[in-house]
Amino acid sequence: MTKIVVAVKYVPDATADRTFEADNTVDRENVDGLLSELDEYAVEQALQVVEAGEGEVTVLTVGPADAADAVRKALQMGADSGVHVEDDAIAGSDAFATSLVLAKAIEKLEYDMVFFGMASTDGSMGVVPTLVAERLGLPAVTYASEVSVDGDTVTIRRDSDAATQEIEASGKVVVSVTDQTGEARYPSFKGIMAAKKKPVEEWTLADLGIDASEVGLDNAWTKVESYTPRPPRTAGEIVTDEGDGGTKLVEFLASKKFV
């Protein structure tokens, strides 16, 4: 019986026009949100692990009311239950505060493993899995392109630029996975119907014994001073190849001194 907690994030849609609030935090109100694409791979891998044996998948998110959508999507994919930590004081939290809330919530759950996506598609720091592991005192095997579980031992393959590595850890383990682990499934109609009956717990900071002074924008360890939109690119020159496209391309490169 393997109990896996999958931590997921509700993020502004990467294909929408993402922007900021007046306080320089990410605008999460006026841009449609969804379950971070990179977290779908973590849900998928967790489901595959429990399907190969016996187990349960609990999906955990920290975020505003709308973040319930991310939990619902994971339940539709096949997760068994959900936990949504929501508290106004959490708004604007940095990676450290987020990892605190996640770690306290995970401690409150029964678990053998914790799965994460490699990074969020909004903040995209990619450090929350390792921070949660650090807080819980657990091994972290991160950026997996392949995950295999044998009893309480997790082995991952990691493909970095320099090498392909196999990394192993036992006992309670934190795992983060890349999009190379394989396509995430789409919710089936049956899955969508079943998700409506799955339990979702709603917790606040008080439920986790966290004081508001430990989280939120005012207690972040970094500060965004300003944000600037990228200036629009001026329209370039487009030519149609009439047998001389390659030569014209090189003429352009030469004009910019690349050749």
Partner 1 sequence: MSEVLVLIDALEGKVTKPSLELLTIARRIGEPSAVVFGDADTGVLSEYGAEKIYTFDDAAYSEFLVAPKADGVTQLVKDKNPAAVLVPSTTEGKEVAARVALRTESGLITDAVDVTVDGGTITTTQSVFAGNFTVAAQVTKGTPIIAVKPNSAAPEQAAGAGAVEAVSAEVAESSKTAKITSNKPKETSGRPELTEAAIVVSGGRGTGGDFSDVEALADALGAAVGASRAAVDSGWYPHTFQVGQTGKTVSPQLYIANGISGAIQHRAGMQTSKTIVAVNKDEEAPIFELVDFGVVGDLKQVLPQATEEIKKRKG
The residue (of 105 and 195) whose beta carbon lies closer to partner 1 is 105
Q: What would you report as the CA-atom Rg of the chain, rounded to the nearest whole angstrom?
A: 21
Nearer to partner 1, 75 or 217 (CB): 217
Q: With respect to partner 1, which residue has the nearer C-beta, 90 or 173?
A: 173
Based on CB atoms, which residue is closest to partner 1, 27 or 202? 27
Q: What gap in Å lies between CA 86 and CA 69, rounded to an integer?
A: 13
- Pick the closest to residue 129 from 236, 68, 227, 39 (CA basis): 39
143-173 burial string, b = 16+ CB within 10 Å, else e? bbbbbebeeeebbbbbeeeeeeeebebeebb
Going from the C-alpha of 82 to that of each of 7, 57, 200, 203, the distances in angstroms are 10, 9, 4, 11
User: Residue 166 carries which side chain, given as an amino acid letter?
Assistant: E
Burial class of residue 9 in the structure, from the number of CB atoms within 10 Å of its CB (0-12 exposed, 13-18 middle, 19+ buried)? buried
Residue 80 or 116 having the CB closest to partner 1 = 116
Contact 105, 85 (CB under 8 A): yes
